[in-house]
Amino acid sequence: MTRAFQWLIPHPLLTLILTIVWMLLQNELSAGMLVFGFILGIIIPWSTSIWWPDTPKGFRLGKMIRYSFIVIWDIIVANIEVAWIVLTVPSSKLKPAWIVVPLELREPEAITMLAGTITLTPGTVSADLSDKGHSLLVHVLHTDDPDAVRDDIKTRYEARLLEIFT
Amino acid sequence: MTLLIIGTYFVGITLLIGSGFILVGVIGLLKFNDPMTRLHAPTKVGTVGIGMLLIASIVHSFDLGEPSTHELLIMAFLFVTAPISANFIAKVNIHRRACDTPPAPPRDDTWSTLNVEEET
């Protein structure tokens, strides 16, 4: 039974997301659209499963949702900070810096999420990954204390992502 | 009726905030002179700027009595793709040595963008 379920729905979360995306695209809430979206949600992951060789082993959805709320809040706060920097700090007094963040995360999915989060929160852009994938290069727009920014990224985002992908 | 008025004001305010952020992004793009610092202004301020405009669009569609939630998809796809384009611009900057050389990574040999054979 579980084998049949795994064969039919190799990625349950992807199936759910595809169903929701289909219903949003159709812009209507009806049983027919739900069923059709669900059928798409089964066919697409099944036919593309060759390109998804290994799923992340553990993924905690509840912690992920809390993480996304924290990120959205940070995006809003940091946007105001960056807007303030753009408007008030003259470019000659700007102190941009490179930061190297040593990574404890190993899954490619988790590193991608961390890099995406860093880029979405204003003031920091993740620029590059080291050749063996052990550190992340981050560019900061304006900072007096680069080490504090690095520790902030590690405690605020990476620690939470480590909990999500266990 | 009052709900409609509140909705209209809400749409107006979110449109103003959104366009304000976009204006700041454009100012940042024009003001800074280093390619890496320039990258910060538009990618960042774009997220809240466009997010606000899309929220305004959703509320307005509810106001008109034709609820539409397409905008949530636009927001989701934008949030997924924006970091990737920013990352590619940053990589091009590093590759062309258009910015300060980044410090060497502590545990590996070099950054993956710099890890290429020099063309002669």
Q: Residue ranges per domain, chain A?
A: 2-51, 61-164
Taking the Cβ of residue A43 and every Cβ of chain B, the question of whether any pair is shorter than 8 Å is answered with no
pLDDT of residue B1: 66
CB A79 within 8 A of CB B44: yes
**Paired residues of A136 in beta bridges:** A101, A129
pLDDT of residue B117: 64
The DSSP 8-state label assigned to residue B110 in this structure reads S
CB A19 within 8 A of CB A40: yes
Residue from A76, A101, A106, A120 to probe the interface with B (highest B Cβ count within 10 Å): A120
Quote the CA–CA distance of A75 and B45 in Å, as a whole number: 9
| The residue count for chain A | 166
* Contact list, B44 vs chain A (CB under 8 Å): 78-79, 82, 122-123
Q: In what side-by-side order are the strands of the sheet with A124-129?
A: A97-102, A135-140, A124-129
* Per-domain boundaries in chain B: 2-95
CB A38 within 8 A of CB A13: no
Q: Percentage of chain B surpassing pLDDT 70?
A: 92
Contact (CB<8Å) A131/B24: no
Distance from CA of A72 to the nearest CA of B (A): 10
Mean pLDDT by 10 residues, chain A (166 residues): 69 81 80 84 80 70 86 86 83 81 81 86 81 82 82 84 80
SS3 (DSSP) at A135: strand
The CATH code of the domain at A61-164 is: 3.30.70
Q: Where are the alpha helices (DSSP H) in chain A?
A: 2-8, 12-26, 31-47, 61-88, 108-120, 146-153, 159-164
Tokens in use for B3? 């709900």
Mean pLDDT, residues B22-44: 81
CB A104 within 8 A of CB A51: no
Quote the CA–CA distance of A78 and A149 in Å, as a whole number: 13
pLDDT band at B16 (very low <50, low <70, confident <90, very high): very high
CB B75 within 8 A of CB B58: no
